[in-house]
Amino acid sequence: MVFFLVEDTLFKVHSFFFERDSEYFRTMFRLHGSSSESRPIVLDVSISSFESFLGVLYPVHFAQHVATTANEWIAILALATEWSFATIRTLAIRELFPFASPIDKIVVGIRYDINEWLNDAYVAICERPEAVTKLEGERLGLDEVIKISKMRQDARIGYKLLARCDLVAMVRQSCCCEVGDGRDIPDVVDGGTNVSPPEVRVPEGSAIRGSSLATAEPSNAVPVDSNSLVTLNTALDANPPTPADSPPQLSSDVDPIPAPSQTLESFQRFCADCSRFSAEKPPLKNNSAKRNRQFAATMLLEWERLRVNAEVFDPHQTLQVEFTSIKDMLDILKQKMAKSSKAKPDDLDLPYARLLLLGHKIIRVHREHSGWTETNV
């Protein structure tokens, strides 16, 4: 077991998950040594953020997560990134996606190096008729507002918006996904509150109370003495780590969609992914609103996968109109589901069927272009 002190709450949790999944905590435990009620490890994070994070490690129900809002998932994402929990970071990115608006995706994507969100978010802001609002500008920061204003200007010839394929190419050329350049962008969604980056420090002394999530002793059972509180920063000052001790940095160019190429192996992988998606089934009409949102997010990711592969396997862009039509349908679906928790079966069935058909069309077009037959694939 390990004892963490968060604000004025003492958490007693299993150390197994922290040691197994995080180099950050493996280093911390090695430098700190054993912890106890009188000698806890102090984490400078909010109780609500830490409890949301523990909700992932200790789910009440395996079929659903305790976190249900965008700000809770942003808090989990912040801690997972800071503490090098790669799998929890991936989970938080996936769960946050359906909640996030294009502005959210830029703000959070830049702050936490989620490159795959940025291009489509910039395109969506360029396509919308409304300019960036004052509140959005404050969240984005001056550099991003200037960049987006220029892209919106380049996206129009007079009053006419560029074709989507040209707009996507312009956005890619304009921004080049410059992530992680030190810009101070707050990680907060619309109407939420800032989530402070986690940091380990020694507090001035605090009263300790019980926690609803962790096994804890009453506050009078834990003597608070600044000399008994040892943190990672204190240990690092006395024992500077070698490069091998430092936790690995998350890559800033992680892309969940394998980069396609003009090879038979890449095309075979694309065909297998299409078959895998065809095994997915839209939720029934009595499914929960959360399940419907998750499937809508899955279809958006499938649309993006098809788009990326079509750039290689459909170089003449013969299916561009189909891509635009399906994207519009998915955008309307997302807006409808944001306004209402109910979704009709046809709302999910139709774009699902269109995506399946689009995948088959890309396969057919490439076979005709490359001369590969079904026996090759």
Residue-level pLDDT at 11: 93
Average pLDDT across the chain, whole number: 74
pTM: 0.48
**Can you tell me the distance from the alpha carbon of 272 to that of 280, in angstroms, rounded to the nearest whole number?**
13
Asked whether the predicted pLDDT for residue 250 surpasses 70, the reply is no
DSSP, res 226 = G
| Secondary structure class of 48 (helix, strand, coil) | helix
| Average pLDDT value for residue range 2-16 | 91
Residue-level pLDDT at 374: 55
Q: What is the arrangement of strands in the sheet containing 41-43, beginning at the earlier edge strand? A: 9-13, 2-6, 41-43
101-132 confidence digits (pLDDT tens): 999 999 999 999 998 899 999 999 999 888 88
H helices of 12-141, in order, are 16-21, 23-32, 47-57, 70-82, 86-96, 102-111, 118-127, 134-140
The answer to whether the beta carbons of residues 133 and 148 sit under 8 Å apart is no
The residues, ordered by sequence, that sit 6+ positions from 149 with a Cβ below 8 Å of its Cβ are 131, 132
218-241 confidence digits (pLDDT tens): 334 334 343 333 344 433 344 444
